[in-house]
Amino acid sequence: MEKLIEQFSYGLFFWQLIILLIVVVLLGKFAWKPIVNALEEREEGISSALAQAEKARLEMSRLVNENDQLLKDARAERDIILKEAKELKDKIVVEAKNQAQIEGAKLIELAKKEINDQKLKALAEVKGQVSTLSLEIARAVLTKEFENQGKQDELVADLLKDVKLN
């Protein structure tokens, strides 16, 4: 202990103090602070880069999921649209058929009516013609018959007979 105290020197203590102060202050300003800050900055950079990579990975998987979902949705929608189109087509076809049937029936009805009309018309004409013809024939016959007087009397007698019978 005595030796220790004897070894102690103010001069060396003083220089040590000065040099330590210089080292702490100057190195602190020009070396330690920049170094410590740079190390921290680098570590932050690394951890933020890692976090970003992780985020990107999550985003990627989310996008993939989303794509899958979109694809699935699109498929389902396509199916629905196809189904609807098919239904619509069937409906249109059925409707068209019905319409056609109704229209056809109507036409047939009209045609029938027309035919009937025409038939009646034709019949009436035929009747007219027949009656004209008959009259003419009758006149011709009568004209022929009544060329002699005897015959006329005979006929009148016949006719009168008939009238009596009626």
Partner 1 sequence: MSQNMVSLKRTLKYFAVILLSVAPFLSKAEQAHDASAAAPTESEKISAHIDHHLQDDYYFTFFADEEADVKYGFSLPVILIDNGLKVFMASEFDYGKKTVEKDGQFYALSHGKIYKTDAAGTLSYDDHHHITNAKPLDFSITKNVVGLLLTAVILFVLFIGLAKTYKKGANNLPKGAGRALEPLVLFVRDEMAIPNIGLSKYKQFMPYLLSIFFLILVLNLIGLTPLGFNVTGNISVTLCLALFTFFIIQFKANKDYWKHIFWMPGVPVPMKIVLAPIEVLGMFTKPFSLMLRLFANITAGHSVVMGLIAIVYLFKTDLTVGGSVGVSMILTLFIMFIELLVAFLQAFIFTMMSSLFIGMAVQDHHDEDHH
**What is the chain's length?**
166
Smallest distance from partner 1 to CB 59, Å: 24
Written as six digits, the tokens of 161 are 């007979």
Q: Can residue 12 be called a binding residue for partner 1 (CB under 8 A)?
A: yes
Q: Can residue 41 be called a binding residue for partner 1 (CB under 8 A)?
A: yes
Q: Can residue 76 be called a binding residue for partner 1 (CB under 8 A)?
A: no
Q: Can residue 51 be called a binding residue for partner 1 (CB under 8 A)?
A: no
Smallest distance from partner 1 to CB 67, Å: 35
Nearer to partner 1, 13 or 146 (CB): 13
Write out the binding residues for partner 1, residues 15-34 only, by CB under 8 A. 15-17, 19-20, 22-24, 26-28, 30-34
Query: For binding to partner 1 (CB under 8 A), which residues are involved?
Result: 4, 6-17, 19-20, 22-24, 26-28, 30-39, 41-42, 45
